A and B are shown apart, each in its own frame.
Chain A
Amino acid sequence: MKKIQNQKGFTVAELLVAMAIFAVVISIASTIFIRSLRAQRAVVKLIEVNENTSITLERLAREIRTGTDFPSSGTYQDLTFTNARGEDVRYFLSENRIQETIYGQTLPLTAEGVYVDNLEFVIGATNQVPRVTILLQVGLPENTQDISEVKSQIQTTVSVRPLNN
């Protein structure tokens, strides 16, 4: 009997306390880890939004800058004009993606995860060199966790270079 009593070991209380502490520490750590993972995913998506926006605006601005035959002054959600190669180009929004129609073919310019809420073109007065203001509201889909409220409202104006004059 004495031998058994002298043996080192855990009591039930000690075991319970140890397990409780372990459980608390692990749950805190895993919560932080999962949140970090989620935030990381969000950051990657947001970077994608920015890159898509920038590359699409670059393309729009280039085509408009060297384009001709713009519609009369007003606000358009669907812009058709003739580009520098003499082809008809059309830009519009469909399924929250910016679409380009060229050579009779329509293809989206922005990626699937990029949510374009609004795309508008404002054409300036007619008694001046054509001027097109591009308006873009872009962000992530509404159901994205935590960060769907981050929407960028982008505006830039392009003055057409009158190459044929």
Chain B
Amino acid sequence: MNNKGQLLIESLVAITVIVISILGIFTLVSRSLSLNRVVNDQYVGTYLAAEGIEVIKNIVDTNVLTHCEPWNQGVNTAGEYQVNYDTQLFGSQTLTQTNGPAQLNFDGTMYSHYSGGQPTKFYRSVTLDPITANHLKVVSLVQWETRGNANFETVLEDHFYNWRPTGINCQ
């Protein structure tokens, strides 16, 4: 007669254990859904960082091959710069300096630093570091914040060299 209450306690313990384990599984799965958004952002951020490097590479190649200019014309000053997908350095055009990564806007199709688009969570800067007259170090940095205020960044680094004497095979 005295151990009548034990059945209740036993079942309470059993239910608690079941509830905790089910909740654990549920949290795991729903967290993997939200983590997937984080992964998505990392993809976007990495491609945006790669774009910064490619644009500088394009400027270097264009200097040498298309304009018969010194290879590092316009990219030989150390500093942090804003670079867009269509940034060119013909003639007197120069890169826009920036103090820390600048916000990218999205105009419905493209990301850029041009005004008029919807501000995105992505910030980008391209740092040029001319190590010698024949060696340029480029660091492309993309930063963003996800929900929950976690900060993420992608840093890509590349080195470009004076790969061809000026004026050879120049069109």
Q: A125-B88, A159-B61 are in contact. Are A147 and B33 (CB under 8 A)?
A: yes
Contact in complex: B66, A36 (CB < 8 Å): no
Contact in complex: A127, B110 (CB < 8 Å): no
Contact in complex: B58, A154 (CB < 8 Å): no
Residue numbers in B under 8 Å from A16 (CB-CB): none
Contact in complex: A122, B85 (CB < 8 Å): yes
Q: Is B55 an interface residue (CB 8 A)?
A: yes
Q: A128-B58, A129-B62, A165-B169 are in contact. Are A36 and B85 (CB under 8 A)?
A: no
Question: Chain A CB within 10 Å — which of B22, B169, B171 has the most?
Answer: B22
B162 to A: closest C-beta gap in Å = 16
Query: What is the interface of chain A mostly: helix, strand, loop, or mixed?
Result: mixed
Name the contact of B61 in the complex, choosing from A46, A53, A129 (C-beta under 8 A): A129
Contact in complex: B66, A127 (CB < 8 Å): yes
Residue numbers in A under 8 Å from B10 (CB-CB): none
In Å, the complex CA distance between A29 and B26 comes to 10
Contact in complex: B111, A33 (CB < 8 Å): no
Q: Is B152 an interface residue (CB 8 A)?
A: no
Q: Is B50 an interface residue (CB 8 A)?
A: yes
Residue numbers in B under 8 Å from A54 (CB-CB): 43
B142 to A: closest C-beta gap in Å = 11
In Å, the complex CA distance between A25 and B12 comes to 12
Name the contact of B29 in the complex, choosing from A43, A122, A131 (C-beta under 8 A): A43
Contact in complex: B65, A156 (CB < 8 Å): no
Can you list 20 A-B pairs with a CB-CB distance of less than 8 A?
A25-B15, A32-B26, A33-B22, A36-B30, A43-B29, A43-B32, A57-B47, A120-B109, A122-B86, A124-B86, A125-B88, A153-B44, A154-B44, A155-B47, A155-B48, A155-B51, A156-B51, A159-B54, A159-B57, A159-B58
> Which A residues are within 8 Å of any B CB, using their own CB?
25, 29, 32-33, 35-36, 39-40, 42-43, 46-47, 50, 53-54, 57, 118, 120, 122, 124-125, 127-129, 131, 133, 135, 147, 150, 152-159, 161-162, 165
List the 8 closest pairs (A to B, CB-CB), nearest first.
Answer: A159-B58, A156-B47, A128-B62, A157-B51, A129-B61, A39-B29, A36-B29, A159-B54
> Which B residues are within 8 Å of any A CB, using their own CB?
15, 18, 22-23, 25-26, 29-30, 32-33, 36-37, 39-40, 43-44, 47-48, 50-51, 54-55, 57-58, 61-62, 65-67, 85-86, 88, 90, 106, 109-111, 169, 171
